[in-house]
Amino acid sequence: MELSQLPVFQIDGNRKEFHKPFLERLIVELARLNLFCTAVYPDDLQDQQSLYTLIRAYDVVFVAGKTDLPLQKITLFPVISEKTGSGLECVVGDGDSFGTFLKLFLVRLREMNSRMPVWGCILIGGKSSRMGQPKHLIKDDSGKTWLERTIDILKPLIDGIIISGAGAVPESLSGTMRVEDIPGVAGPLSGVLAASRRQPQVSWLLVACDMPHISKEAVDWLLGGRCPGCWGVVPRMEETGYFEPLFAWYDMRAGQLFEHQLQKKVLRIGRVAVHRKIANPIIPQSLRDGWKNVNTPEQLQQVKRME
């Protein structure tokens, strides 16, 4: 994505002495809303890439001072008569002006958040030891593999798709982007990290290949949980409280959480679900079939009887 599409804002205005107190107040207010923010000075920036790196670790980045980079601007004024009434503006020291600015700023964040690209990462390549065959290649009554059917459901709803993991795929999917697991690391954590490293500036809908009943409605419900400050939606079952990390949405900033797990050799992807920036809504009763995975031939026969 272009920098102008990301929540990176330049603090503008001729009175530089206003920048620091305004940012301190703004960052405190945003922290109360669970938004992680940071401020940097133009001289601290080596290039655009340094901002891309920061925005993967923070919800909002502020650049305190003029820069030639294509950033959105927040303009500060000493008196209300200088306001133009356009863009993000604030009169420093005026409580009403700050309150109005904050409301407009949060609206802008929500708009930007809704435009963040969502890609699908479909996990294949597990051992399938209990099933006895690659689960992503199991066919339904129409002759389509579970992998093909999953992609058919996701394509109209998201911006791109990656197949993560080793294994043969149907000829119809030969042109679909693929990534291999990270060497020496197995399991879902490896798959989502490989995808995140390939496309670091998108959010991810992670889907295991052995959930044959995922639906448009379930995807819409998951993506409906996106909001500024939320780094993932990992839902849970009401009765058991179990997290469901393998049909979940992860913001691009969740990539750092997965990287940290890898560094700590904590390979269970479900551990990310308890992070304070991850939401854990209860799966609605009407959508629960979407989270049922199939691991054994007996479970497969039950699925086939339902088709």
Residue 76 sits in a domain whose CATH number is: 3.40.50.300
| 3-state per-residue secondary structure call for 199-256 | CCCCEEEEEECCCCCCCHHHHHHHHCCCCCCCCEECCECCCCCCECCCEEEECCCHHH
Q: Are residues 188 and 93 in the same domain?
A: no
**CA–CA dist 277, 254 (Å, integer):** 9
Q: Are residues 162 and 255 in the same domain?
A: yes
Q: Are residues 291 and 203 in the same domain?
A: yes
Q: Are residues 155 and 257 in the same domain?
A: yes
DSSP code for 47: S
pLDDT of residue 258: 95
**CA–CA dist 9, 23 (Å, integer):** 11
Q: Are residues 274 and 136 in the same domain?
A: yes
**CA–CA dist 7, 62 (Å, integer):** 8
**Helices 95-114, 19-31: inter-axial angle, 10-degree rounding:** 60
**CA–CA dist 68, 47 (Å, integer):** 11
Q: Are residues 86 and 125 in the same domain?
A: no
pLDDT of residue 218: 97
Q: Are residues 276 and 175 in the same domain?
A: yes
Q: H helices of the chain, where?
A: 19-31, 48-55, 95-114, 146-154, 188-198, 216-223, 254-263, 297-306
- Which pair of tokens denotes residue 242? 């179990």
Contact 89, 75 (CB under 8 A): yes
pLDDT of residue 229: 96
Contact 208, 247 (CB under 8 A): yes
- Residue 191's contacts (CB-CB under 8 Å, 6 or more residues apart) are 121, 123, 125, 164, 165, 179, 181
pLDDT of residue 200: 93
pLDDT of residue 127: 60
Q: Are residues 149 and 274 in the same domain?
A: yes
Could you tell me which of 228, 238, 232, 219 has the C-alpha nearest to residue 274?
232
Q: Are residues 128 and 107 in the same domain?
A: no
CA atoms within 13 A of residue 106's CA, in its CB half-sphere: 16
Q: Each residue's pLDDT tens digit in the chain (307 positions)?
A: 788 889 999 998 877 888 899 999 999 999 999 999 999 998 888 788 889 999 999 999 999 988 888 899 999 988 766 666 667 988 887 778 899 999 999 999 999 999 999 999 999 976 655 666 778 888 887 889 989 999 999 999 999 999 998 888 999 999 999 998 888 887 899 999 999 999 999 999 999 988 989 999 999 999 999 999 999 999 999 888 899 999 999 999 999 999 999 999 998 999 999 999 999 999 999 999 999 887 766 766 666 656 5
CA atoms within 13 A of residue 218's CA, in its CB half-sphere: 26
CATH code, domain carrying 178: 3.90.550.10
- Which pair of tokens denotes residue 247? 């049909």
Q: Are residues 152 and 286 in the same domain?
A: yes
pLDDT of residue 231: 98
Which of 57, 92, 114 represents a domain boundary (last residue)?
A: 114
- Which pair of tokens denotes residue 159? 């911006």
Q: What is the pTM of this model?
A: 0.91
Contact 208, 244 (CB under 8 A): no
Q: Are residues 135 and 216 in the same domain?
A: yes
pLDDT of residue 179: 93
pLDDT of residue 307: 58
Domain count within the chain: 2
Which of 70, 98, 114 represents a domain boundary (last residue)?
A: 114
Question: Alpha carbon of 94 to those of 23, 76, 79, 117: distances in Å?
Answer: 14, 11, 9, 37
Which of 114, 145, 163 represents a domain boundary (last residue)?
A: 114
Domain membership of residue 39 as a residue range: 3-114
